[in-house]
């Protein structure tokens, strides 16, 4: 994902500087990156670091001190524990208590092979965390089996079993999990994702979502690329959509109804533009 996001400046051109300024402005004195309320948060720090790396900027030295304050992640929920692992990887450093963080990650494993709430999202985060911590997934086949149980009736993937229709983000994550865990993503998922493309560009989160959003758009483009599905017919529309979400403050909104800017959606803007620049 980061390799692709690094292509975004090809389309941003001179506006890349504004994006750099925006991301840097979200860095807090303690070394973390701000959430939407202005407080440092591990989740948003992931996207702050990834955005700087995508823009080929140095990562802040003070962020290591912020991460160190979490030690081995005791007291963190599953999502923030995986964020701690990703942030250390973003700094190109091993977590000081890597073995302990790995052990804590194991505690979130379920009997069915999944993690935490057992969603596709959790499976995707778990795989990323094991890679970031240089650890092997304890049961890759079991993890993939837990994902397959969340296949929806329409052939896509949801975040729970027995759904009639899935989500664009979950389906995209399932495609990537199959790719990395030795499974095979089916062409049906590629067609389903393509059908979520809005007539005005961008991708909708669900079949009945009224408007597209940037998270769905970035993850859909990433999954389609992994499946080698051509996007020539939708490229211009998606470019127009992403452009409507960018502001001259340097950040990206999440959708047409979103009034806030943050590092998360700015990173997804970079990822989407990276794919559209290829």
Q: Would you say 247 and 261 are in contact if contact means Cβ atoms under 8 Å apart?
A: yes
pTM above 0.95, yes or no: yes
What's the rounded mean pLDDT across residues 211-227?
A: 97
Domain assignments of the chain as residue spans, ordered by start: 2-69+150-277
pLDDT of residue 184: 80
DSSP string, the chain: -HHHHTTTHHHHGGGHHHHHHHHHHTB-TTS-BB-TTS-B-HHHHHHHHHHHHHTT-PPPTHHHHHHHTTTT-TT--HHHHHHHHHHHHHTT---TTHHHHHHHHHTTB-TTS-BTT--HHHHHHHHHHHHHTT---TTHHHHHHHHHTTB-TTSSB-SSTT-SS--HHHHHHHHHHHHHTT----HHHHHHHHHTB-TTSSB-SSTT-SS-BHHHHHHHHHHHHHTT---TTTHHHHHHHHHHHB-TTS-B-SSTT-----HHHHHHHHHHHHHHH-
* Cα distance between residue 275 and residue 278, in whole Å: 5
**In which band, very low, low, confident or very high, does the pLDDT at 26 lie, cut at 50, 70 and 90?**
very high
pLDDT of residue 183: 82
Task: Check pLDDT > 90 for residue 5.
Answer: yes
pLDDT of residue 186: 81
Q: Which of 113, 34, 103 is nearest to 74 (CA)?
A: 103
pLDDT of residue 185: 74
pLDDT tens digits along 164-206? 999 999 999 999 999 999 888 788 999 999 999 999 999 999 9
CA 63 to chain centre: 20
What's the rounded mean pLDDT across residues 206-221?
A: 98
3-state secondary structure 133-196: CCCCCCCHHHHHHHHHCCECCCCCECCCCCCCCCCHHHHHHHHHHHHHCCCCCCHHHHHHHHHC
Mean pLDDT in the chain?
Answer: 96
pLDDT tens digits along 114-164? 999 999 999 999 999 999 999 999 999 999 999 999 999 999 999 999 999
Task: Check pLDDT > 80 for residue 38.
Answer: yes
pLDDT of residue 1: 94
pLDDT tens digits along 82-120? 999 999 999 998 889 999 999 999 999 999 999 999 999
pLDDT of residue 134: 94
Q: What percentage of the chain reaches a pLDDT higher than 70?
A: 100
pLDDT of residue 95: 87
What's the rounded mean pLDDT across residues 201-222?
A: 98
pLDDT of residue 161: 95
């Amino acid at each position: 994902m980061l390799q692709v996001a690094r292509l975004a400046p090809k389309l941003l051109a001179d506006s890349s500087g504004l994006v750099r300024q925006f991301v840097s402005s979200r860095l807090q004195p303690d070394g973390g990156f701000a959430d939407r309320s202005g407080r440092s948060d591990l989740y948003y720090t992931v996207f702050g670091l990834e955005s700087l790396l995508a823009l080929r900027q140095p990562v802040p030295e003070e962020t290591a001190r912020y991460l160190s304050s979490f030690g081995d992640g005791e007291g963190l929920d599953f999502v923030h524990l995986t964020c701690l692992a990703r942030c250390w990887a973003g700094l190109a450093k091993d977590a000081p208590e890597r073995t302990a963080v790995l052990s804590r990650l194991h505690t979130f494993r379920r009997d069915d092979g999944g993690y935490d709430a057992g969603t596709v999202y959790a499976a995707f985060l778990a795989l990323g965390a094991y890679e970031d911590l240089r650890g092997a997934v304890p049961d890759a086949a079991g993890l993939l089996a837990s994902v397959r149980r969340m296949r929806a009736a329409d052939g896509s993937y949801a975040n729970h079993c027995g759904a009639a229709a899935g989500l664009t983000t979950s389906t995209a994550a399932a495609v990537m999990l199959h790719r990395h865990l030795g499974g095979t993503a089916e062409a049906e998922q590629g067609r389903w994702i393509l059908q979520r493309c809005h007539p005005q560009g961008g991708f909708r989160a669900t079949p009945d979502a009224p408007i597209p959003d940037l998270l769905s758009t970035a993850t859909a483009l990433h999954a389609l690329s992994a499946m080698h599905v051509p996007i020539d017919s939708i490229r211009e529309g998606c470019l127009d959509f992403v452009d409507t979400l960018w502001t001259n403050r340097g950040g990206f909104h999440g959708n047409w109804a979103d009034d806030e800017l943050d590092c998360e959606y700015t990173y997804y803007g970079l990822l989407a533009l990276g794919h559209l620049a290829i």
